[in-house]
Structure 1
Amino acid sequence: MARVEVDDFFCKGCGLCVDVCPVHILELDNAVITAKGYHPAHCIDKDRCTGCASCALMCPDAAITVWR
C-alpha cells in the first residue's frame, strides 16, 4: 500500500502538490502553522494514495516522500 508523507519543516504551503494530486487526497492544513509561519500540506485519506508520486515530483522543496 502506498503512502505519502509531508515533512512540515520543509513544506512552505505553496499548494502545488494539492493541485497535482490525481485522487485529491492532499490539502493545506489550516489548523496548523509551522515554525516558519506556513500552513503545511497533509494527506486526508492515506488509503486512497496510489503512489504516483506526482506530489513529490512537483514539490519545489522536496518536502514530500512517497512510499510504495
Structure 2
Amino acid sequence: MWMAKKGRVEIYAEACKSCRFCIEVCPKKVLETTSAVNSKGYQYAVPVNPDDCIGCAMCATICPDAAITVYREA
C-alpha cells in the first residue's frame, strides 16, 4: 500500500529575516509570513497549512539563516 509522505515544519522565529525564500520554494504552499514580528522587527514564516507538508525539506535547504527544521514522519 502506498502512503503519502508526511512532514512537520518548525520555524525558529527569532532567526527568520522574512526573505520569503521558503514560501516561494514550498511545492505545497505550507508556509506564509505572519503579521507578528520577532525581536529584530522582522515578520517571520509560519506553517499555515501544516497538514499539507510532505517533508521534502526544500524550505530548510534554501533558508539562509538556518531558521527551519523539517521532520519526516510516517
Give the Cα–Cα distance (whole angstroms) in 2 for the partners of residues 19 and 46 of structure 1: 16
If you compute each CA radius of gyration, which structure gives the higher value, 1 or 2?
A: 2
Question: Any idea what SS the aligned residue of 1:9 has?
Answer: helix
Runs of 4+ with deviation above 4 angstroms: none
1:15 is displaced (CA, Å) by 0.3
Deviation at 1:53, TM superposition (A): 0.2
Q: Any unmatched runs of 5+ in structure 2? A: 1-5
The CA distance in 2 between the partners of 1:61 and 1:46, in whole Å, is: 21
Partner of 1:11: 16
Give the structure 2 partner of residue 21 of structure 1.
Answer: 26
Instruction: Write the deviation string for residues 8-59 of structure 1: whole angstroms up to 9, x where unpaired.
Output: 11011110000000001111112x1110000000000111100000000000
Q: When the two structures are aligned, how many residues end up with a matched partner? A: 67
TM-score (structure 2 length as normaliser): 0.87
